[in-house]
Structure 1
Amino acid sequence: MDTTGILDEALERLHSSGPERLGWLSNHAPMAVEALAAHGQARSVHRWLDLYAPRLEEFPSGVEPVTAADWQRALGDPRRAADWIGYFGREIAERPWRDVLGEWWPRLLPGMYGGATHPVIRVGHAVRTLLAGEATEPRLSELAHGLGYWAARHHAVTALVPLPGADSAAAALDAVTPVAERDGGFPTRLARVRGLPAWAATVTDPDAAHRHLTELVRAATHRYATHGHGDATMLVHSATAPNAVLRVLPALPRSLWAPSLRAAWTASAAVTAMYAPDAPTAYTPPGTPTPEEVVELALEHGDEHVIKLTDTALDVGDERALAAALRSIELSEPLD
């Protein structure tokens, strides 16, 4: 993890910006700079931020403070993003951050689809930083921003019909039926998801949940190499969302690991249903670059989703995962 102080500088710089722009597009910068710093690219963080800066908007105005007595009324109200971030800032200042996370994780977990899964991904990056190093004020504040964004965009999905599944995560993802209509944004497509294959539904043991979630992240990452052309940007989240959950598990009570697996599977499968192509395409990567070289290529490309998928691919750590990262570079528009 970065020990230069650059990540903290970048987070401080970003916390004057809101979690979204144009009313619905997520601010990816906190996630991308954490990923770069985590993989030895701290020296490039501010240069990357300078390129991304035109996409940032000012921090939104508050409506009224969220309190312990009325938080349910504010849950899922995107107008209350500043109120929620302020609430979690106060909570984390007064209590250990793990206690706050453990209390709110089960409340937020059913709504991880809000903001196209970006809030939980942002929380995953924040928690990784806190677990890896000192709990500095900018890093604690970043967790508050991530949790607050999640609470404001909380969107639950209910009444999904369990469909015939498979034993492995890869086979279960292959069993996902794409939605019939492929137009519209994330909320529109999500409303069309009626059923998903059952997978790991009976897992209750925390260690088994961890193994299954690791398997899911690997399968979704591998799958991007052959299916990412369905939507180069959105299918990234089929891997990065469950990986965010996997990163948070060590900071949670073990009793929450199995519910976290189930939520992560549903999110990954739903994204697959919304954006998967009709058929895969064979992909052979151009050469066999090292993980360090893949990070350099992702940084040179600059797209925030490429950086985040590369970050997850390095967590998976095998050649097929690195091939997925290279495929994302080929499919995505570079940041300029």
Structure 2
Amino acid sequence: MADIEARENPTSVASSGTLDEALERLHASGPEFEGWLSNHAPMAVEALVRHGQAATVHPWLDVYRTRLDELPRAHYPVTGANWREALGDPRRAGDWIERFTRLLAERPWRDVLAEWWPRLLPGITAAATHPVIRVGHAVRTLLDGEDATGAPLTGPRVAELGHALGYWAARHQPLPVPVRLGAPGTAGTADVAEALAAVPLVPDRSGGIRDRLAQLPSTPGWPARAATLRPPAGPDEARERLGELVREATTRYAAHGHGNPVMLVHAATAPNAVLRTLPALPRELWAASLAAAWEASAAVITAYSPAGPAAPRPEGGVPGTAEEVFARAAAHGDAHTIKFTDTALDVAAAEPERAPLVWAAAAASRELIAPA
């Protein structure tokens, strides 16, 4: 029944019991496994349900859950007095999840989000941007599931926001050299495509994202070349510019994804998570949200983008509808491909004329990333 409902209304998962069941299963698991790998399941199952693939959720989850760790235990409460010292301490993940679970039980979720969003934004690149992406998926389900009074219809989705915010707080870590859009002395005149092309690359292309981002202080052109994006004139322009960033980062993947197929999807999915969250935030936070989303995309690109684009892929064979595109991603099974295709569908829905470009990017993710 939930599968039928999702197919009839792919833009809303408010009535889907499948998503709530999946989230309840997952909330016994931690946000990471095997040391520090991110648990992608809450994000992937949300996308699967949304795009008419609810019937695949539990079988997919049966396989994925075998690698997950248990939810970390809380040891020492995070409070209004000590939260700053606990911020960015992954050993306190259980404490942070308990903290947000308690806050969300006491206050409306929008109020909690508005208070903590600006506190967490400076650490948007932490854990390879996975925490903010998880928050974006959680907020989207909450916005879908509100009744006329604005009250959430289901508890698991509120709980998921608590897990996502707790993960972000535990892994919070600002860049060693942050990007300051509109700061004195920066040009700030480029459009999104130009600014993405100007981002410098770290010298040492080995190691994980933490090793690569640690090179930013010695990377020629960082952060000046990453700060050439033109700042927005107001909240509406910030939202428009954020949409452009998601579009350009998505379509760019088709030619540049080979630099690191898995990591480079985050250059698009992280800013899209921020874009999805904007409707739940006060407008005065939108410009800062754009700045943080840009920093996240720029950091991923400087860490992983190849020196040049790949040869154009031959045309043909690309499915022509959103349903076909996502069905192929679901059949592929990798969580990154599922989430990237979910973002590609957002771009195509906003700008139908660009569908062939984003379909090519989605196809590239299926070709470059190993199937699950």
Give the TM interval when normalised to the shorter protein: over 0.9
Q: CA deviation at 1:4?
A: 2.9
Please point out which of 123, 130, 138 is paired with 1:111: 123
Contact 1:306 1:325 in 2 (8 A): yes
Going from structure 1 to structure 2, the CA distance change for 1:108 and 1:285 (only over 3 Å counts) comes to: farther
- 5+ residue gaps in structure 2? 1-11, 147-151, 181-185, 349-354
One-letter identity of the residue aligned with 1:313: A
TM-score by structure 1 length?
0.96
Q: CA deviation at 1:208?
A: 0.3
One-letter identity of the residue aligned with 1:294: V
Contact 1:165 1:175 in 2 (8 A): no
Deviations 1:136-179 (A, max 9, x none): 10000000000000000000125347776662211211111111
> Distance between the aligned counterparts of 1:75 and 1:47, measured in 2?
36
One-letter identity of the residue aligned with 1:228: G
Partner of 2:38: 26
1:122-271 alignment runs, 5 A limit:
122-134=134-146, 135=152, 136-160=154-178, 167-194=190-217, 195-196=222-223, 197-271=226-300
- 5+ residue gaps in structure 1? none
Q: Does 1:16 align with 2:28?
A: yes
Q: CA deviation at 1:287?
A: 2.1
> Distance between the aligned counterparts of 2:265 and 2:278, measured in 1?
21
Report sequence identity in percent.
61
Aligned length: 335
SS of alignment partner, residue 65 of structure 1: coil
Q: CA deviation at 1:288?
A: 3.2
Contact 1:179 1:189 in 2 (8 A): yes
Going from structure 1 to structure 2, the CA distance change for 1:72 and 1:161 (only over 3 Å counts) comes to: closer
Contact 2:246 2:268 in 1 (8 A): yes
Partner of 2:7: none
Going from structure 1 to structure 2, the CA distance change for 1:132 and 1:215 (only over 3 Å counts) comes to: same
SS of alignment partner, residue 58 of structure 1: coil
> Distance between the aligned counterparts of 1:139 and 1:305, measured in 2?
21
Going from structure 1 to structure 2, the CA distance change for 1:109 and 1:213 (only over 3 Å counts) comes to: same
Deviations 1:251-305 (A, max 9, x none): 0000000000001001101100000011101234542312111111101110000
> Distance between the aligned counterparts of 2:280 and 2:30, measured in 1?
26
Q: Does 1:57 align with 2:62?
A: no
Between 1:189-198 and 1:5-14, the stretch displaced more is: 189-198
Q: CA deviation at 1:132?
A: 1.0
Going from structure 1 to structure 2, the CA distance change for 1:331 and 1:61 (only over 3 Å counts) comes to: same
Contact 2:188 2:229 in 1 (8 A): no
Contact 2:190 2:230 in 1 (8 A): no
> Distance between the aligned counterparts of 1:71 and 1:191, measured in 2?
25
Going from structure 1 to structure 2, the CA distance change for 1:166 and 1:301 (only over 3 Å counts) comes to: farther
Between 1:221-230 and 1:46-55, the stretch displaced more is: 46-55
Greater radius of gyration (CA): 2
Partner of 1:288: 318
CA RMSD across the alignment = 1.4
One-letter identity of the residue aligned with 1:76: G
Contact 1:108 1:151 in 2 (8 A): yes
> Distance between the aligned counterparts of 1:38 and 1:330, measured in 2?
23
Q: CA deviation at 1:52?
A: 1.0
> Distance between the aligned counterparts of 2:260 and 2:197, measured in 1?
16
Partner of 1:303: 334
Between 1:288-297 and 1:8-17, the stretch displaced more is: 288-297
Deviations 1:177-235 (A, max 9, x none): 11110111111111112414224453240000000000000000000000000000000
> Distance between the aligned counterparts of 1:174 and 1:255, measured in 2?
29
> Distance between the aligned counterparts of 2:97 and 2:78, measured in 1?
9
Going from structure 1 to structure 2, the CA distance change for 1:33 and 1:161 (only over 3 Å counts) comes to: closer
Going from structure 1 to structure 2, the CA distance change for 1:126 and 1:161 (only over 3 Å counts) comes to: closer
One-letter identity of the residue aligned with 1:9: E
One-letter identity of the residue aligned with 1:323: A
